[in-house]
Amino acid sequence: MLLAESRSNGSSGSAWLPLVSALLGFLSSQVLEWLKDKRAYTRERASREAARRDPRTEPRNDFQTKTLLDFQDQVDRWINS
């Protein structure tokens, strides 16, 4: 009788192990994913702030835009002449 009771208690206890393992695995993967996203967001924000702080960025972009538009005008004139 005791042997039968110990077997039934042991089998019900082992049924919890896969459930607890799966739950812990799921929770740990969610925490790790959240940490990865947080690091990526922090890195992207720092990159955007650095780009904003760089005083050469806007004049350089303006120069490139002006140069490309001038080039486009010259090519258009050359083609149409």
Secondary structure (DSSP) of the chain: -HHHHHHHHHHHHHHHHHHHHHHHHHHHHHHHHHHHHHHHHHHHHHHHHHHHH-TTHHHHHHHHHHHHHHHHHHHHHHHH-
Question: Which structural domain, as residue segments, surrounds residue 74?
Answer: 16-80
Q: Contact at 8 Å (CB) between 25 and 31?
A: no
Structure-token pair, residue 66: 């002006």
Assess if residue 6 is contained within a domain.
Answer: no
Residue 2 resides in a domain: no
User: Taking the model in full, what pTM does it have?
Assistant: 0.47
Query: Domain tally for the chain?
Result: 1
Q: pLDDT-derived band of residue 1, with 50, 70 and 90 as boundaries?
A: very low
Q: Looking at the predicted structure, is the pLDDT value of residue 36 above 80?
A: yes
User: How far is it, in rounded angstroms, from Cα 14 to Cα 9?
Assistant: 9
* pLDDT > 80? residue 66: yes
Please tell me the distance from the alpha carbon of residue 2 to that of residue 7, in angstroms, as a whole number: 9
**Predicted confidence band at 30 (pLDDT cuts at 50, 70, 90)?**
very high
